[in-house]
Structure 1
Amino acid sequence: MQVVREMTAPAVEFVKRRRDPVTVQMVRSTAAATVAYVIALRLSPEAAPLTAPLTALLVVQVTLYSTLTTGVRRVNSVVAGVVVAILFSLLVGLTWWSLGLLILASLLVGHLVRVDEFVPEVAISAMLVLGVTTHGDTAWARIVETLIGAIVGMGFNLLLAPPVWVEEAGESIEELARRVRQLMLRIGEEAAGSPLSASAAARLHEARRLDHDITQVDADLRQAEDSLRLNPRVREGLLHRVVLRTGLDTLEICTVVLRVLARTLTDLTKEREPERLFEPETGAVFEELLSEIADAVVSFSVLVTTSVSANAESAEERLASELRQAAATRDRLARLLFEEARRDARQWQLLGAVLTEVNRILDEMDTEHRTRRLFEELDRHSREQRERLPRLTRMRERLRRRREGASRRSR
């Protein structure tokens, strides 16, 4: 078996790299730029029409949605710069003061036509055109090459649909959940014994570092959301986006609460040092509870990243079972913490905070809470779409009423 794994390792690595966003970006950009240059050689009057491959290289993105939006803005920026350069060439020549006015006017036009991050491209296009002698021919050639590069870049992803990055985003979410689980297990194990304030502070620092992990997962999820938009291979793209986004939001809230819990345990450790953090029975129950919550966090991540309905149902049943078990352990911990607070009322606020933070994590992962959030997000997206596209919404409503009327008549 080991020999088989070693023999198939290069093939597995090649498949993984083929799906890597950076690899896909390089291959698509190179192919699109080459095709754009070949076409521009036949259609552009320039001997070396490098604007076409340059535009295609900058337009092509990993996802179809970003390709279309980027292509439109880039074409607008280049055409606007060319128009500004033509107007300046008719009025003034190339001097230091005309160049300054050209750059200022180009940047202003770029903001007016709303090309976003391509505002400098307006000034670059204007300077390239103004800096040559044959203004008319160069302007026309640059417009043609820009259109060729943009059309090739956008058509490349229309004809060859880019991959959907949902699986990669799901892996990032599950990896984040596993890191949260490992931290919870370490916190519970140390809390059951006699932790030092230094070790408690180290766990707090680890909880704070989870913010950086969430930032990376959020970037992966944004890429997955873009890959679902306008993709002909995807059905129910909105549902996939909402499920993943709400799942990441829940995990982010859990990490924030975990950081607060680590802060509370750090303060409690300083108050009780060198004594034990909890009584032996309370510490054992607290460790058991964090272990159960940690397993539930991983199950929750599996639930939100599972696309097959049968697997999703089994994941939801497993999560509900783990949450019920954790709730029962939480009730036992509540009684023990109440007894400790009665014996030593000085730390009742910190002991109550521990219980409150544990309850918050359990409430966030509750299946009913998750279902309610999903419906709220879907309703919000539908409402925003109706407000953004009222005519399309009215057309859909008329078609729906006609279908309902036809079905009633057929009965």
Structure 2
Amino acid sequence: MHDVLKWTAGPTRLLRRHRDPVVVQTLRSAAAATIAYVVALRLSPEPAPLTAPLTALLVVQVTLYATLTNGIRRVNAVVAGVLVAIAFSLLVGLTWWSLALLILAALAVGHLVRVNEYVPEVAISAMLVLGVTTVGNTAWARVVETLIGAGVGLACNVLLPPPVWVDEAGESIEGLARRVRQLLLRMGEEVAERIPVERAAARLHEARRLDHDIVQVDAALRQAEDSLRLNPRVKEGLLHRVVLRTGLDTLEICTVVMRVLARTLTDLAKARDPDPLFPAEAGAAVELLLSEIGDAVVSFAVLVTTDLSRSAESAEARLSAELQAASVTRDKLALLLRDEVERDGRHWQLHGAVLTEVNRIIDELDTEHRSRRLFEELDRVSGEQHAKLPRLARLRERVGVPERLRRNRSGGEGRSS
């Protein structure tokens, strides 16, 4: 058995590396640039048409949506630069002052035609064309090579559809949820004891550092959202994007509330020093409650990253059971803290804050709350699409796309998540 696992480890690692974004981007870019150069050798009048592979190299991206947007912007930038260079060649020619005016005009035109990051490309194209003696031939060759490079880059992603990065985004979301759970477990283990203020403050800093994790997960989710746009391999791409995005939004709210909870526990440690934060029975209830909430956070992440399957149904059932258990423990803790306040009411504000914050997390993870949030986001996105592209929106309504989206969600909130 060990030999079999060792024999399959190599191909498994190779398959994972094949799906790595860096590997995919490198292979696609190299292939597209080479093909573009071969095609340009036959169609361009230039002896070394390097603009074509350069354009393909810049246009090909990991996702089809990014390829389309970058290709259109780069073609617009090159054509605008060529037109500016032709105008200057007819009026003034090339001198030091005309070069300065050319660059200023090209950059201004680049902002006018909204090519975004390709604004410098307008000036570069204009200078390259103006700097040669046969402006007409060079201008034509540069436009042809740019079109070849953009076309090859687009064809590579159409004929060889790029991977959908939903799984990677899902792994990032689940990884964030597990880090939140680990921090909640550490906080729970310490609240029943007498902990130094420094250790409570350290947990607060850990909660604040989760903001960096949120940024990384958001970047992975943005890549997944781009990979779903205009991708022929994906059905209901809008639904996938909304489910993942609202799931990350919920986890972000939970991390913010957890940071506030860590702040409250730090203040409680200062106020009760050198006594424990809670009496023994209340401390045990807090530890159990934070453990149950941590489990629910992970189950929520599994739920929003799982497709239609029995595993999604089990994840939804598990989340509901964990939230129910957490609610019971919260109610028990509320009674214990009420008794403690009746004995000693000096820290009732902090005790009440702890209950408020854990209750907010439980409410955010609730499946009914998530259903409402998901429908609101679907309505908002659909409204934005209708405002931007009314004809396309009417066509989707005729074929019943919004109804299918709603039917999928009503058929099982968590199962699409």
Question: What TM-score do you get using the length of structure 1 for normalisation?
Answer: 0.95
Alpha-carbon distance, 1:5 to partner:
2.2
Q: Which residue of 1 aligns with 2:177?
A: 177
Q: Deviations over 1:275-328 (max 9, x none)?
A: 111101111000000000000000000000001332211111110000000000
Show structure 2 runs of 5+ residues with no match: 401-417
What's the % identity of the aligned pairs? 75
Taking the aligned partners of 1:243 and 1:392, their CA distance within structure 2 comes to 22
Q: Specify whether residues 310 and 99 from structure 1 end up closer, same or farther in structure 2 by C-alpha distance, changes over 3 A only.
A: same
- Say which is worse superposed, 84-93 or 46-55, in terms of deviation: 84-93
SS in 1 for 2:161: coil
Q: How does 1:182-331 map to 2 (within 5 A)?
A: 182-331=182-331
Show structure 1 runs of 5+ residues with no match: 401-411
Q: Specify whether residues 345 and 312 from structure 1 end up closer, same or farther in structure 2 by C-alpha distance, changes over 3 A only.
A: same
Q: Which residue of 2 aligns with 1:88?
A: 88
Q: Which residue of 2 aligns with 1:31?
A: 31
Alpha-carbon distance, 1:6 to partner:
2.2
Q: Which residue of 2 aligns with 1:393?
A: 393
Q: Specify whether residues 397 and 228 from structure 1 end up closer, same or farther in structure 2 by C-alpha distance, changes over 3 A only.
A: closer
Output the amino acid matched with 2:219: A
Taking the aligned partners of 1:227 and 1:396, their CA distance within structure 2 comes to 21
Aligned length: 400
Q: Which residue of 2 aligns with 1:153?
A: 153
Taking the aligned partners of 2:365 and 2:3, their CA distance within structure 1 comes to 43
Alpha-carbon distance, 1:398 to partner:
6.0
- Say which is worse superposed, 320-329 or 119-128, in terms of deviation: 119-128
Taking the aligned partners of 1:355 and 1:127, their CA distance within structure 2 comes to 66
- Say which is worse superposed, 21-30 or 390-399, in terms of deviation: 390-399
Q: Which residue of 2 aligns with 1:168?
A: 168
Taking the aligned partners of 1:396 and 1:227, their CA distance within structure 2 comes to 21
Taking the aligned partners of 2:146 and 2:395, their CA distance within structure 1 comes to 36
Q: CA RMSD in A?
A: 1.2
Taking the aligned partners of 1:200 and 1:75, their CA distance within structure 2 comes to 56
Q: Which residue of 2 aligns with 1:357?
A: 357
- Say which is worse superposed, 253-262 or 114-123, in terms of deviation: 114-123
Alpha-carbon distance, 1:397 to partner:
5.2
Q: How does 1:65-144 map to 2 (within 5 A)?
A: 65-144=65-144
SS in 1 for 2:346: helix
Taking the aligned partners of 2:10 and 2:399, their CA distance within structure 1 comes to 53
Taking the aligned partners of 1:398 and 1:348, their CA distance within structure 2 comes to 58
Q: Which residue of 2 aligns with 1:41?
A: 41
Q: Specify whether residues 13 and 397 from structure 1 end up closer, same or farther in structure 2 by C-alpha distance, changes over 3 A only.
A: closer
Q: Which residue of 2 aligns with 1:407?
A: none
Taking the aligned partners of 1:397 and 1:201, their CA distance within structure 2 comes to 54
Q: Deviations over 1:202-240 (max 9, x none)?
A: 111111111000100000001101111111111111111
Q: Specify whether residues 398 and 373 from structure 1 end up closer, same or farther in structure 2 by C-alpha distance, changes over 3 A only.
A: closer
Alpha-carbon distance, 1:396 to partner:
5.1
SS in 1 for 2:162: coil
Q: Which residue of 2 aligns with 1:381?
A: 381
Taking the aligned partners of 2:144 and 2:109, their CA distance within structure 1 comes to 21
